[in-house]
Amino acid sequence: DVKVTQSSRYLVKRTGEKVFLECVQDMDHENMFWYRQDPGLGLRLIYFSYDVKMKEKGDIPEGYSVSREKKERFSLILESASTNQTSMYLCASSPGRTSSWETQYFGPGTRLLVL
Partner 1 sequence: QKEVEQNSGPLSVPEGAIASLNCTYSDRVSQSFFWYRQYSGKSPELIMSIYSNGDKEDGRFTAQLNKASQYVSLLIRDSQPSDSATYLCAVRQRYGGATNKLIFGTGTLLAVQP
Would you tell me which residues interact with partner 1 (CB under 8 A)?
31, 33, 40-45, 48, 50, 56, 58, 90, 97, 101-104, 106-109
Nearest distance from C-beta of residue 15 to partner 1, angstroms:
26
Q: Smaller CB distance to partner 1: residue 5 or 80?
A: 5
SS (H, E, C) 33-81: EEEEEECCCEEEEEEEECCCCCCEECCCCCCEEEEEEECCEEEEEECCC
Q: Smaller CB distance to partner 1: residue 16 or 108?
A: 108
Nearest distance from C-beta of residue 94 to partner 1, angstroms:
9
How far is it, in rounded angstroms, from Cα 66 to Cα 77? 6
Return the closest-CA partner of residue 24 out of 96, 107, 87.
Answer: 107
Nearest distance from C-beta of residue 2 to partner 1, angstroms:
10
